[in-house]
């Protein structure tokens, strides 16, 4: 919590400033304090976005008073809240305002708090030396003003920064300063909070150094914090302290004591209605119960943890983005641990018991993670908004199998969806081995003058397809719906090789980012309305694409359609067309790039760059009509080999844009080869018997039959 918000909660904050007129003070100051208190409660419960609304209202009221100290307090609290959700622009604006107002007010404790919060911003911007200087200034000023609360906050922030930069002696020095001052705090809850934070940092320090002294201090700080918090009636704070103490016992292989403390933490978090604390200790309880062989209880704990987490998902994603952490990295292990236990239960199902329930729950659980991961990548709730329009993928078509790999540290699990239910295959390949093979395959695929890709293509076939070949044949499967995860998003399944032929000789492949599809619907061939866009010229330092004119001409010859080429392919023209016509196909033959940072992903137009948010806005013009865009084609885009988040963006572009499906490339390919494949794809799409995946398969096979383009580097980059 921002130091200025803590100060704002103290009764002396407003009194330290020059008094406003009595009627204004009695009205506005009371309202501001109420808003600050509500904001603090919301922040502590994990609802940081809602807290910002309260703080904005408090800041608006404070600006009506000629009270620089109160104005500084609300501005600083608001800046700290923006910082917590990663909005550095607003955080900087509000914190600079708070600093200026604090200096004008001349109240040392408020200036010290403002400097402390400013240090937090500098740290978030990776300006570590400046952040440390701000903390030191804050600490000195707080000590001179006898502001113990701010002094402890500045010292612990400095310790955390020094831990990040691995300056262990300095981190320990700041931690000792903080701990020595805790007894000087007047509020028992503040004492508990300070010991909790110091104990947590000592816990991290021990994990880095294995220093026994740090471990002993961590135990003592957390235990004292837990007891002080309970005595003060703060169940939320106590739940954190007992929970982190349980983690220490878990690390020390003292499972019974760890489980007792974790359960105590769960109970207190439930009483305090603190989901941001609750899910952590339900997760920890599940892990401890799983390790102890108490499967039924462990499953229940994991289910509760996932439910508690769902209540704060949006706020947690915002907070993690502020810390440059991904949702997958932070809470993905919860979902994988739970899924692992479900799969173990499915495998161990007694005779006569159907394992389907556990298989389906495991599948749906990982689907939740995939959906949130995509939402987190694009930083909006586009995925959640589409859920009601989606169908389970195994219902898409007959003679279709859904391949759903789940990557665990020690093995690969493949769930296969058939109309009759799910089947499961376990492949003994470690995640690290699989990841290295995938990266090598992708890199060699882009080297079109060698066959170095082939050993990797065969090895991946042996892991991903060969174990399920007989099942696919028995079901007479013609189309594979591939739901890749992690590094597997970076490769084209069609280019795997069984030793005699590529996979696309036997199967059409459709790629989806999750287990559900945007509601599938066949294109009405007689009524296809195409918007054709492209660049042939070199613009904005990107090379020319001379064969784009041939590509678009081939499509026009078959379907006609509106054309925006070169100087006519402008953002304004594209928006105008999307507003006035219900296009079923939007084809863009231009450079496009998908990056691990979605803000850097774009499609090149003649006059600018079409980012993913703008693309979504354009397609939305038709989404809410009777006929949304059925197919979005990006024929010249790329992702970096090994960049899993960039590949996630490519896989999810249709969902983000609101189109029912997308055809795009994983890497830049030969301009002429792309033109020939695209022309054949649209020709095959004209056949009523062909799905989009089948049309792509046939187009790829045609290129494969041409000696010039036999290498999969030319034809396999296209994904449907």
Contact assessment for residue 652 and residue 377, using Cβ atoms and an 8 Å cutoff? yes
Question: Do 472 and 547 belong together in one domain?
Answer: no
pLDDT band at 381 (very low <50, low <70, confident <90, very high): low
Question: Do 504 and 558 belong together in one domain?
Answer: no
Question: Do 7 and 140 belong together in one domain?
Answer: yes
Share of the chain above pLDDT 70, in %: 91
* 249 is a domain residue: no
Question: Do 655 and 690 belong together in one domain?
Answer: yes
pLDDT band at 623 (very low <50, low <70, confident <90, very high): low
pLDDT tens sequence across 292-307: 999 999 999 999 999 9
Q: What is the reported pLDDT for 522?
A: 56
Residue 511: give its domain's CATH number: 3.30.420
Tell me the two tokens of residue 203. Answer: 């816990």
Q: What is the reported pLDDT for 16?
A: 38
Residue 82: give its domain's CATH number: 1.25.40.10
Question: Do 511 and 544 belong together in one domain?
Answer: no
* 378 is a domain residue: no
Residue 545: give its domain's CATH number: 3.40.50.1460
Question: Do 42 and 169 belong together in one domain?
Answer: yes
pLDDT tens sequence across 430-441: 999 999 999 999
What counts of helices (H) and strands (E) characterise the chain? 32, 15
- 609-611 and 562-565 strand pairing: unpaired
pLDDT tens sequence across 624-639: 556 778 899 998 888 8
pLDDT band at 152 (very low <50, low <70, confident <90, very high): very high
More confident residue, 140 or 645: 140
Question: Do 581 and 625 belong together in one domain?
Answer: yes
Q: d(Cα 679, Cα 671) in Å, to the nearest integer?
A: 12
Question: Do 399 and 543 belong together in one domain?
Answer: no
The b-or-e profile of 98-125 (16+ CB within 10 A means b, else e) is bbebbeebebbbbbbbbbbbbbbbbbbe
* 414 is a domain residue: yes
Is residue 14 predicted with pLDDT exceeding 50? Answer: no
614, 634, 663: which is closest to 378 by C-alpha?
Answer: 614
Computed over every residue of the chain, the mean pLDDT equals: 89
Q: E-strand spans in 387-519?
A: 390-392, 400-407, 412-418, 421-427, 479-482, 508-511, 516-518
Reported pTM: 0.86
Question: Quick one: average pLDDT of 118-134?
Answer: 95
Question: Do 632 and 510 belong together in one domain?
Answer: no
Tokens 């189309």 -> residue: 479
Q: What is the reported pLDDT for 430?
A: 98
pLDDT band at 660 (very low <50, low <70, confident <90, very high): confident
Name the phi and psi angles at 427, rounded to 5. -115, 125
Q: How many angstroms separate the Cα of 165 from the Cα of each of 133, 152, 158, 256?
A: 14, 20, 11, 35
Question: Do 617 and 668 belong together in one domain?
Answer: yes
Is residue 528 predicted with pLDDT exceeding 60? Answer: yes
* 426 is a domain residue: yes
Contact assessment for residue 446 and residue 486, using Cβ atoms and an 8 Å cutoff? no
Tell me the two tokens of residue 413. Answer: 């699990």
Which of 186, 204, 238 is the endpoint of a domain? Answer: 186
Contact assessment for residue 482 and residue 509, using Cβ atoms and an 8 Å cutoff? yes
Q: d(Cα 533, Cα 568) in Å, to the nearest integer?
A: 9
More confident residue, 19 or 463: 463
Is residue 380 predicted with pLDDT exceeding 80? Answer: no
Q: What is the reported pLDDT for 181?
A: 94
pLDDT tens sequence across 483-517: 999 999 999 999 999 999 999 999 999 998 876 54
Is residue 606 predicted with pLDDT exceeding 90? Answer: yes
* 23 is a domain residue: yes
Q: What is the reported pLDDT for 18?
A: 43
Q: What is the reported pLDDT for 20?
A: 44
Structural domain containing residue 443: 386-518
Long-range Cβ contacts of 89-93 (<8 Å, 24+ apart): 91/121, 91/124, 92/121
- DSSP percent split of the chain into helix, strand, coil, nearest 5: 65, 10, 25
Q: What is the reported pLDDT for 678?
A: 95
* 554 is a domain residue: yes
Which of 518, 537, 558 is the endpoint of a domain? Answer: 518
- How many domains does the chain divide into? 3
pLDDT tens sequence across 298-357: 999 999 999 999 999 888 888 888 788 888 999 999 999 999 999 999 987 655 567 899
Contact assessment for residue 136 and residue 170, using Cβ atoms and an 8 Å cutoff? no
Question: Quick one: average pLDDT of 446-467?
Answer: 97
Question: Do 561 and 708 belong together in one domain?
Answer: yes
Which of 135, 168, 186 is the endpoint of a domain? Answer: 186
pLDDT band at 670 (very low <50, low <70, confident <90, very high): confident
Share of the chain above pLDDT 90, in %: 66
Is residue 396 predicted with pLDDT exceeding 50? Answer: no
pLDDT tens sequence across 217-233: 999 999 999 999 999 99
* 422 is a domain residue: yes
- 662-665 and 718-719 strand pairing: antiparallel
Q: What is the reported pLDDT for 388?
A: 40
Question: Quick one: average pLDDT of 535-558?
Answer: 93
Is the CA virtual torsion 355, 359, 360, 361 positive or negative? positive
Is residue 123 predicted with pLDDT exceeding 50? Answer: yes
Question: Do 494 and 408 belong together in one domain?
Answer: yes
* 235 is a domain residue: no
Q: How many angstroms separate the Cα of 83 from the Cα of each of 10, 49, 90, 415?
A: 22, 11, 8, 41
């Amino acid at each position: 919590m921002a130091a200025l918000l803590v100060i704002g909660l103290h009764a002396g904050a407003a009194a330290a400033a020059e008094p406003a007129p009595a009627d204004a003070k009695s009205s506005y100051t009371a309202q501001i304090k109420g808003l600050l208190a509500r904001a603090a409660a919301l922040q502590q419960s994990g609802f940081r976005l809602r807290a910002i609304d309260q703080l904005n209202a408090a800041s608006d009221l404070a600006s009506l008073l000629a009270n620089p100290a109160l104005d500084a307090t609300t501005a600083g609290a608001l800046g700290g809240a923006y910082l917590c959700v990663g909005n550095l622009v607003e955080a900087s604006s509000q914190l600079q305002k708070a600093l200026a107002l604090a200096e004008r007010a001349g109240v040392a404790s408020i200036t010290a708090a403002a400097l402390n919060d400013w240090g937090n911003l500098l740290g978030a911007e990776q300006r570590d030396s400046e952040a440390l200087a701000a903390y030191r200034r804050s600490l000195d000023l707080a000590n001179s003003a006898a502001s113990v609360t701010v002094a402890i906050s500045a010292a612990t922030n400095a310790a955390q920064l020094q831990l990040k930069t691995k300056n262990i002696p300095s981190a320990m020095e700041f931690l000792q300063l903080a701990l020595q001052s805790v007894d000087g705090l007047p509020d028992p809850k503040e004492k508990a909070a300070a010991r909790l934070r110091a104990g947590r940092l000592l816990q991290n320090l021990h994990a880095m150094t294995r220093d026994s002294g740090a471990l002993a201090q961590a135990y003592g700080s957390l235990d004292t914090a837990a007891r002080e918090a309970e005595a003060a009636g703060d169940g939320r704070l106590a739940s954190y302290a007992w929970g982190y103490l349980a983690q220490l016992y878990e690390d020390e292989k003292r499972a019974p004591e760890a489980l007792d403390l974790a359960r105590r933490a769960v109970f207190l978090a439930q009483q305090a209605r603190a989901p941001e604390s609750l899910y952590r200790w339900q997760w920890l309880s599940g892990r401890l119960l799983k390790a102890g062989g108490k499967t039924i209880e462990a499953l229940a704990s994991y289910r509760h943890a996932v439910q508690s987490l769902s209540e704060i998902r949006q706020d947690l994603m915002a907070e993690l983005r502020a810390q440059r952490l991904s949702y997958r990295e932070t809470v993905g292990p919860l979902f994988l641990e739970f899924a692992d236990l479900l799969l173990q239960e499915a495998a161990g199902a007694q005779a006569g018991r159907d394992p389907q329930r556990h298989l389906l729950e495991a599948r749906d659980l990982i689907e939740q993670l995939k959906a949130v991961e995509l939402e987190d990548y694009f930083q909006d709730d586009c995925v959640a908004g589409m859920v009601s329009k989606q169908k389970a993928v195994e219902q898409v078509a007959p003679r279709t199998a859904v391949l759903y790999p789940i990557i665990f540290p020690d093995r690969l699990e493949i769930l296969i969806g058939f109309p009759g239910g799910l089947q499961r295959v376990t492949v003994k390949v470690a995640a690290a081995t699989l990841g290295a093979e995938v990266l090598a395959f992708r890199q060699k695929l882009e080297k079109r003058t060698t066959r170095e890709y082939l050993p990797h293509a065969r090895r991946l076939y042996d892991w991903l397809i060969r174990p399920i070949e007989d099942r696919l044949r028995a079901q007479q499967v013609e189309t594979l719906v591939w739901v890749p995860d992690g590094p597997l998003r970076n490769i084209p399944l069609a280019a795997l090789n069984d030793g005699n032929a590529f996979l696309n000789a036997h199967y059409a492949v459709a790629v989806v980012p999750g287990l559900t599809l945007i509601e599938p619907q066949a294109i009405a061939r007689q009524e296809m309305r195409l918007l054709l866009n492209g660049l042939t010229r070199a613009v904005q330092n990107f090379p020319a694409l001379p064969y784009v004119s041939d590509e678009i001409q081939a499509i026009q010859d078959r379907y006609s359609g509106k054309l925006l080429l070169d100087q006519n392919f402008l953002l304004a023209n594209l928006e105008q067309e999307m507003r006035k016509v219900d296009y079923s196909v939007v084809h863009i033959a231009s450079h496009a790039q998908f990056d691990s940072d979605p803000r850097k992903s774009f499609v090149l137009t003649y006059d600018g760059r079409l980012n993913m948010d703008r693309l979504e806005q354009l397609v939305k013009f038709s989404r809410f009509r009777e006929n949304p865009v059925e197919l979005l084609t990006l024929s010249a885009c790329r992702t970096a080999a090994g960049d899993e988040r960039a590949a996630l963006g490519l896989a999810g572009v249709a969902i983000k844009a609101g189109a029912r499906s997308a055809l795009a490339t994983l890497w830049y390919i030969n301009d002429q080869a792309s033109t020939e494949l695209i022309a054949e794809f649209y020709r095959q799409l004209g056949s009523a018997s062909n799905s989009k995946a089948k049309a792509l398969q046939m187009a790829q096979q045609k290129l494969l039959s041409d000696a010039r383009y036999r290498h999969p580097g030319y034809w396999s980059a296209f994904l449907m």
